[in-house]
């Protein structure tokens, strides 16, 4: 059972997202973006190509400018989001990336170098990213340490 | 007489006529023959075709005909009113990719929205939602009409942009369609027409497509984008959720083109940044008056607050946060474009929290 967060866990989600077309909501469309997720001390780079998540890498924080944008939240909030998805089959309205973004004073996505064009990819492909996280609903998960 | 014998008789009757062999001279007219573009991992995309002479995108396109870029010209073609013939007037490097993305990101309001998930809402909330959507329909309509007005004036030399904007216009029509259906499918109806000062400014903008882009996207675009974000977060059911998620993605794609185009225009034209500064100074107070318009403001607050009662405190607080976010997004985009706004119009400035206000200009 993969542990969240880990490359194994993200690869399990990736496998499900890439192979189950029912997880791609209406109008999802293709996505060309690299998103970094800062979870605890780890940074995961998710590369989306077309209708798939092509690759997951764990990268150093110093290499974050490889990403178009990055999402950073305290570990308990990531876990709350993942647990909510597992309980409901998909994020409820209080736990979507969009809602979390709105609840943070400065928003959720940041772009290296404050590049507005790259940051806006988060909104352009919001459905794809949400579909990806919702794909974790079917993944048996062990939650890692919160500290 | 049978059909076969009738044909034979006709053929025999003209057999003495000598027919010259076809010359087919047109076959020699190609500026570059033998091109074989291979499809890539994601198919054969519009941008992949920019090889050889077909990828030569000139800074200025003198041709006023409908000749596709790369085709041989036919002498004597009368000019057509393509007034936008310089690359800096419309170009964005991302246009071909955005076109591909737009035609693949397709959704059909009639069948892709789970309309059966709609359920009756309290009367005040239903009225507020229908009012919000009535005004968003008008904004989408102004965007559509502005795009089509300028798109037909764009030279064929820049077909990537023309094609992207053709789909962008269709996308606006899709939004209007979806909003209208939402209004008329849940026991409500359309609300009150918007005063639409920004709509008028957009539609009356005649200085060029770049000027229209400044008004539609740079100035008002973030306010529309943030409305979609909040309406998505406050969706009452799966149907609304699907509508606003799609609208957010679509609108963000339009914003990507706009920012990319403005960046290009500013880079290529020395005076463009100063022109945009002037346009923003003229437009900011118009936008601020639209934002402050009590009808849309209260309707949004009621939706965000879950009713008239909740709208007074919680809803208005959310509305103020949304407006603040929109203005900050706008100022960030200006800075990213290199047209930092050290001063903004008084009315717009007043919409920011006191400790975040910039130096206002006298006007507005």
The pLDDT tens digits for A88-104 are: 999 998 999 999 998 88
**pLDDT of res. B124:** 98
Query: Residue B136 burial (CB < 10 Å; 0-12/13-18/19+)?
Result: buried
Q: Is the pLDDT of residue B178 over 70?
A: yes
pLDDT band, residue A65 (cuts 50/70/90): very high
**pLDDT of res. B363:** 56
**pLDDT of res. B12:** 82
| Rg (alpha carbons) of chain B, rounded to whole number | 26
Q: Is the pLDDT of residue B100 over 60?
A: yes
ipTM of model over 0.85: no
pLDDT band, residue B279 (cuts 50/70/90): very high
Residue B195 contacts residue B290 (beta carbons within 8 Å): yes
Query: From A106, which residue of chain B is nearest by alpha-carbon distance?
Result: B325
**Is residue A145 included in any domain, yes or no?**
no
**Is residue A147 included in any domain, yes or no?**
no
Scanning the structure block, which residue is given the tokens 């402050």?
B292
Q: Is the pLDDT of residue A45 over 90?
A: yes
Of A135-144, B3-12, B153-162, which has the strongest mean pLDDT? B153-162
Q: Is A95 helix (H, G, I), strand (E, B) or coil?
A: coil
Residue of B57, B64, B54 lying closest to B84 (CA atoms): B64
Residue of A121, A126, A99 lying closest to A110 (CA atoms): A121
Cβ distance A120 to B255 less than 8 Å, yes or no, reads yes
Is the CB of residue A22 less than 8 Å away from at least one CB of chain B?
A: no
What are the domain boundaries of chain B?
Answer: 87-266+293-319
pLDDT band, residue B10 (cuts 50/70/90): confident
Cβ distance B249 to A114 less than 8 Å, yes or no, reads no
* Domain B87-266+293-319 grouped into CATH 1.10.620.20: yes
B 19-48 residues inside an 8 A Cβ radius of A: 41-42
pLDDT band, residue B156 (cuts 50/70/90): very high
pLDDT average, residue stretch B144-154? 97
Q: Is the pLDDT of residue A147 over 60?
A: no
**Cβ contacts (< 8 Å) between B325 and chain A: which residues?**
107
- CA torsion sign for B99, B105, B111, B114 is negative
Per residue in A51-63, pLDDT (tens digit) is 899 999 999 999 9
Candidates A111, A124, A127, partner chain B, best to mutate (most B CBs within 10 A): A124
Q: Which helix (DSSP H) or strand (DSSP E) does residue B133 occupy?
A: helix B123-151
Cβ distance B232 to A96 less than 8 Å, yes or no, reads yes
**Cβ contacts (< 8 Å) between B241 and chain A: which residues?**
93
Q: What percent of chain B has pLDDT over 70?
A: 99
**Is residue A146 included in any domain, yes or no?**
no
| The Cα angle at residue A35 between residues A32 and A39, in degrees rounded to 5 | 160
Q: Is the pLDDT of residue A107 over 90?
A: no
pLDDT band, residue B141 (cuts 50/70/90): very high
Cβ distance B249 to A117 less than 8 Å, yes or no, reads no
**pLDDT of res. B268:** 96
Q: What is the mean pLDDT of chain A?
A: 91
**pLDDT of res. B362:** 57
Q: Is the pLDDT of residue B234 over 80?
A: yes
Per residue in B305-363, pLDDT (tens digit) is 999 999 999 999 999 999 999 999 999 999 999 998 988 999 999 999 999 998 777 55
Q: What is the mean pLDDT of chain B?
A: 94
Please state the φ and ψ torsions of residue B70, each to the nearest 5 degrees: 100, -15
Q: Give yes or no for a cis peptide into A5 (omega within 30° of 0).
A: yes
**Cβ contacts (< 8 Å) between A29 and chain B: which residues?**
101, 104-106, 249
Q: Is the pLDDT of residue B364 over 60?
A: no
Q: Is the pLDDT of residue B54 over 70?
A: yes
Domain CATH code at residue A67: 3.30.1050.10
More confident residue, B335 or A147: B335
Quote the domain boundaries for residue A69: 3-140
Is the CB of residue A134 less than 8 Å away from at least one CB of chain B?
A: no
Number of domains in chain A: 1
**pLDDT of res. B42:** 83
pTM metric for this prediction: 0.89
**For residue A26, what is the DSSP state?**
T
**pLDDT of res. B309:** 97
Residue of B219, B225, B329 lying closest to B284 (CA atoms): B219
**pLDDT of res. A69:** 96
pLDDT average, residue stretch B12-41? 88
């Amino acid at each position: 059972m993969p542990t969240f967060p880990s490359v194994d866990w993200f690869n399990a989600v990736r496998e499900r997202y890439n192979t189950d077309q029912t997880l791609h909501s209406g109008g999802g469309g293709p996505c060309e973006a690299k998103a970094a997720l800062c979870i605890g001390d780890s940074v995961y780079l998710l590369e989306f190509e077309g209708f798939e998540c092509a690759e997951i890498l764990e990268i150093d924080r110093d290499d974050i400018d490889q990403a178009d944008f990055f999402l950073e939240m305290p570990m308990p909030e990531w876990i709350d989001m993942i647990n909510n998805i597992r309980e409901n089959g998909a994020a409820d309205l209080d736990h979507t990336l969009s809602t979390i973004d709105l609840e943070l004073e400065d928003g959720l996505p940041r772009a290296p170098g404050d590049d507005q064009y790259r940051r806006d990819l988060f909104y352009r492909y919001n459905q794809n990213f949400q579909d990806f996280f919702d794909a974790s609903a079917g993944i048996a998960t062990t939650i890692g340490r919160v500290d | 007489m049978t059909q076969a014998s009738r044909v034979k008789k006709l053929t025999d009757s003209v057999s003495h006529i000598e027919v010259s062999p076809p010359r087919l001279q047109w076959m020699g007219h190609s500026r570059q023959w033998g091109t074989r573009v291979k499809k890539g991992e994601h198919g054969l995309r519009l941008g992949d075709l920019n090889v050889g002479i077909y990828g030569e995108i000139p800074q200025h396109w003198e041709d006023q005909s409908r000749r596709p870029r790369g085709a041989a010209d036919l002498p004597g073609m009368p000019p057509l009113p393509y007034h936008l013939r310089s690359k800096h007037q419309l170009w964005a490097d991302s246009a071909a990719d955005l076109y591909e993305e737009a035609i693949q990101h397709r959704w059909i309001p009639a069948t892709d929205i789970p309309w059966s998930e709609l359920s009756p809402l309290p009367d005040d909330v239903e009225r507020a939602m229908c009012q919000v959507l009535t005004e968003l329909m008008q904004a989408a309509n102004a965007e559509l009409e502005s795009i089509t007005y300028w798109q037909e004036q764009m030279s064929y030399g820049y077909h990537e942009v023309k094609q992207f904007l053709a789909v962008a216009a269709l996308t606006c029509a899709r939004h209007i369609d979806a909003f209208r259906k939402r209004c008329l499918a849940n026991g409500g109806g359309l609300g009150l027409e918007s005063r639409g000062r920004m709509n008028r400014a957009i539609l009356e903008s005649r200085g060029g497509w770049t000027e229209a882009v400044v008004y539609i996207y740079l100035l008002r675009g973030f306010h529309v984008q943030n409305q979609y974000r909040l309406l998505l977060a406050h969706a009452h059911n799966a149907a609304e959720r699907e509508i606003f998620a799609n609208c957010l993605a679509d609108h963000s794609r339009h914003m990507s083109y706009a920012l990319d185009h403005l960046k290009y225009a500013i880079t290529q034209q020395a005076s463009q940044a100063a022109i945009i500064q002037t346009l923003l100074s003229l437009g900011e107070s118009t936008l601020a008056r639209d934002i402050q318009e009590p009808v849309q403001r209260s309707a949004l607050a009621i939706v965000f607050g879950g009713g008239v009662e909740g709208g007074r405190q919680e809803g208005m607080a959310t509305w103020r946060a949304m407006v603040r976010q929109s203005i900050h997004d706008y100022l960030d985009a200006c800075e990213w474009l290199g047209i930092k706004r050290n001063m903004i119009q008084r009315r717009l400035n007043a919409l920011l929290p006191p400790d975040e206000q910039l130096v206002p200009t006298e006007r507005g």
